[in-house]
Structure 1
Amino acid sequence: MATHGAEPLPQRLQAFVDQTSLSGVVCAFDDTGTLAVAKRGVADARTQAALTEDSLFRVGSLSKMVVALALLRMAERGEFDLGDTVAPALTRVLGAAPADTERLPTHDELLHHTSGLKDPPPLWLPYLLGEDRRVSTARELLPLGLRLAKAAPPGERFRYANLNYALLGEALRLRTRTTLEAALQAQLLAPLGLRDIGVSPDEAQRARLSQGHFSLLGRLVTREALLGTEADAFRDTAASGNLFASCGDLAVLLRAAFWGPLFEQEETRRQWLRPALENYAGGVVVRVEESRARAGHAGAVPGFTSFFEVHPEARRGFIVLSNLDLSAGDPAALSRPLRRLVLGDSEPTATEPSARHAPLLGPLRLGLHAALAPTPFGRMAQTLIAAGLLVHLLRKRGRSRVEALTESLGVVALGLTLGALTEMSLGMRGAVLAALGLGAAVMLQRAAPTPWLPPRRSQRLSAALSLALVVACLAVGVYWSWLPFA
Structure 2
Amino acid sequence: MTGLREVLEPFVDSGALPGAVGLVARGGRVEVEAVGSADAEGSAPMVRDSVFRVASLTKPVIAAAVMMLAEEGRFALTDPVGPWLPELASPVVVRTPAGPVDDVVPATRPITVADLLTFRAGIGFPDDFTLPAVALLFTELKQGPPQPQQVPAPDAWMKALSRIPLLHQPGEAWLYNTCSDILGVLIARVSGSPLPVFLEERIFEPLGMADTGFSVPAADLGRFTWCYRAASGAGGAGLELVDAPDGQWSVPPAFPSGAGGLVSTVDDLYAFQRMLLAGGALEGERGRLLAEESVQRMTTDWLTPDQRAGAELFLEGQGWGFGGSVDVEVRAPWNVPGRYGWIGGTGTAAHITPSTGTVAILLTQVELAGPTPPPEAMQAFWRYAAGA
Note whether the superposition's TM-score is higher than 0.5.
yes
Computed over aligned residues only, the root mean square deviation of the Cα atoms, in angstroms, reads: 3.1
* 1:78 matched to 2:73: yes
What residue identity is the alignment partner of 1:158? W
Contact 2:195/2:256 (<8 A) preserved: no
Aligned partner (choices 9, 17, 38) of residue 8 of structure 2: 17
Contact 1:294/1:312 (<8 A) preserved: yes
Aligned partner (choices 145, 151, 154) of residue 170 of structure 2: 154
Alpha-carbon spacing, 1:323–1:238, altered in 2? closer, same or farther (3 Å): same
Identity %: 25
Aligned partner (choices 344, 357, 380) of residue 387 of structure 2: 344
Contact 1:62/1:306 (<8 A) preserved: yes
Aligned partner (choices 255, 273, 281) of residue 321 of structure 2: 281
Alpha-carbon spacing, 1:337–1:139, altered in 2? closer, same or farther (3 Å): same
What residue identity is the alignment partner of 1:28? V
Note the alpha carbon deviations across 1:226-284, whole angstroms, 9 max, x for none. x9654545452421111111011101110111225145543222111122213110111
Aligned partner (choices 203, 206, 213) of residue 198 of structure 1: 213
**Secondary structure class of the residue paired with 1:201:** coil
C-alpha distance in 1 between matches for 2:78 and 2:170: 13
What residue identity is the alignment partner of 2:147? G
Q: CA deviation at 1:163?
A: 2.2
Contact 2:214/2:252 (<8 A) preserved: no
Q: CA deviation at 1:140?
A: 4.2
Contact 2:119/2:179 (<8 A) preserved: yes
Aligned partner (choices 269, 273, 289) of residue 295 of structure 2: 269
Alpha-carbon spacing, 1:342–1:232, altered in 2? closer, same or farther (3 Å): same
C-alpha distance in 1 between matches for 2:85 and 2:68: 22
Alpha-carbon spacing, 1:215–1:53, altered in 2? closer, same or farther (3 Å): same
- Where structure 1 has 5 or more consecutive residues not aligned to the other structure, the ranges are 6-11, 346-486
**Under a length normalisation based on structure 1, what TM-score does the superposition of the two structures give?**
0.60
Aligned residue-pair number? 327
Contact 2:216/2:249 (<8 A) preserved: no
* 1:107 matched to 2:113: yes
> Which protein has the bigger helix share?
1
C-alpha distance in 2 between matches for 1:79 and 1:150: 26
Contact 1:322/1:331 (<8 A) preserved: no
Q: CA deviation at 1:167?
A: 1.3
- Where structure 2 has 5 or more consecutive residues not aligned to the other structure, the ranges are 93-105, 126-133, 282-287, 309-318, 331-335
Counterpart residue number, 1:434: none
Note the alpha carbon deviations across 1:173-218, whole angstroms, 9 max, x for none. 1122111111012222211222122112223333322121233354
Alpha-carbon spacing, 1:118–1:145, altered in 2? closer, same or farther (3 Å): farther
C-alpha distance in 2 between matches for 1:47 and 1:342: 27
What pairs up with 1:199-348 in 2 under 5 angstroms?
199-216=214-231, 217-224=236-243, 230=249, 232=251, 234-259=253-278, 261=281, 262=288, 265-277=291-303, 278=308, 279-289=319-329, 292-300=337-345, 304-327=346-369, 332-345=375-388
Contact 1:30/1:315 (<8 A) preserved: yes
Contact 1:130/1:231 (<8 A) preserved: no
**Under a length normalisation based on structure 2, what TM-score does the superposition of the two structures give?**
0.74
**Secondary structure class of the residue paired with 2:363:** strand
Q: CA deviation at 1:149?
A: 4.2
**Secondary structure class of the residue paired with 2:229:** strand
**Secondary structure class of the residue paired with 1:236:** coil
What residue identity is the alignment partner of 1:85? P
